[in-house]
Amino acid sequence: MRKTRIAGTFAGIAIAALALTACNSGSPTAPGAEPGETEDGTWFEVAEDVTLEGSPTFDAMTERDKVVVGVKEDQPGLGFLDVTSGERTGFDVDIARWIAASLGFDEDDIEFKAIASANREQAIVNGDIDYYVGTYSITDSRKEQIDFAGPYFLTGQGLLVANDSEIESDADLNADTTVCSATGSTPIQNIRANYPDVKTVEFDLYSACVEALINGDVDAVTTDQAILIGYAAQYPDDIKVVGEPFTEERYGVGLAKGDDALRGHINDLFTENGEIWQAIFDRNLGSSGITVEQPEVDAY
């Protein structure tokens, strides 16, 4: 396997990323652009003459001349689709773009597919998508069916409640509270395992849980705190994040089991290009108040 590195221009990238935080609704950065060529500046370039021996996933991408990426589209700051403009934004979406660029595919060569949490493994196993980037927690049970590159982000499970709620942390969850999360997600499984008296409700999308919370149909929404902060910023008059994270979640890139060549390529990308990772984080989550470091990959 020939290891391909992203050839990017990093001068002033941190300053550019901070400026981009305020204009996150604009078009995504064009891979390969030179400084000043686009309003958003330069992040990364599309690699040329990429070879990845031993990767059936990369072979499929090359044959169809397109990358098919599974994402979320209802998580502000992470994976979000503006239905009016058609623009996709968020940390996970830009990580997916960065991976595609490292494999030689630009924005026009990417097909994004929204996949619900409960269907992610099957979509990868079926070959419906080439890889998945969407708040996908690495777990041993999932690794029985698929592989993960990364982790590329660390967070923890938190709680989102109404502004007038008396719930201040997970310690306040009891038999009188109803908690909502996405079907098949790690957070809903954690609630059932560790808070067995708490009533639970599941929807395919976290946005449906947030709507139920605002409408007073549930008492709390639980998922990774990074996701919840995005929703709280979107509806500051209605909902808030409370307490401290009570789990550790390690987000990885889901891909076909046994595709060691692709997994190694993505891990090398994360390990060798910390400046780009930081710029992507600053642009999408830098204004949230979260302070995190890029995690070390698990090259299993």
pLDDT at 260: 98
Residue type at 205 in one-letter notation: L
For 179-224, the pLDDT digits (tens) are 999 998 889 999 999 999 999 999 988 999 999 999 999 999 999 8
Residue recorded with tokens 């630009």: 106
**Contact (CB, 8 A) for 136 and 92:** no
Tell the residue number behind the tokens 């599309």, with chain if given. Answer: 46
Q: Structural domain boundaries of the chain? A: 13-154+251-288, 157-242
What confidence tier does 289 reach under pLDDT thresholds 50, 70, 90? low
Determine the pLDDT at residue 37.
33
| Pairwise CA distance, residues 46 & 64, whole Å | 18
What does the pLDDT look like over 266-275, one tens digit per residue?
999 999 999 9
> What is the model's pLDDT at position 293?
87
Least confident of 98-112, 157-171, 277-291: 277-291
pLDDT score at 43: 64
Residue 116 has pLDDT above 70, yes or no: yes
Average pLDDT, the chain: 85
In this predicted structure, which of 97-101, 107-111, 292-296 has the lowest mean pLDDT? 292-296
Query: Which of 185, 300, 203, 299 lies closest to 249 in space, CA to CA?
Result: 185
pLDDT tens digits for 6-22? 333 223 333 233 233 33
pLDDT band of 288, cuts 50, 70, 90: low
Domains 13-154+251-288 and 157-242 alike in fold: yes
Residue 259 has phi, psi (to 5 degrees) of: -85, 75
Q: Please classify residue 252 by burial: count the beta carbons closer than 10 Å to its beta carbon, then call 0-12 exposed, 13-18 middle and 19+ buried.
A: buried
Q: Is the pTM of this model over 0.85?
A: no
pLDDT at residue 291 greater than cutoff 80: no
pLDDT at 1: 35
> Is 238 exposed, middle or buried, given 0-12, 13-18 or 19+ CB atoms closer than 10 A?
middle
Residue 228 has pLDDT above 70, yes or no: yes
Helix H or strand E segment including 152: strand 146-155
Position 287 scores a pLDDT of: 72
Sheet containing strand 79-81, strands side by side: 74-75, 79-81, 88-89
Which CATH number is 157-242 given? 3.40.190.10
Could you name the CATH architecture of 13-154+251-288? 3-Layer(aba) Sandwich (3.40)
Give me the helices (H) in 86-240, please. Answer: 91-102, 120-126, 186-194, 206-214, 225-234
Q: What type of residue sits at position 237?
A: D
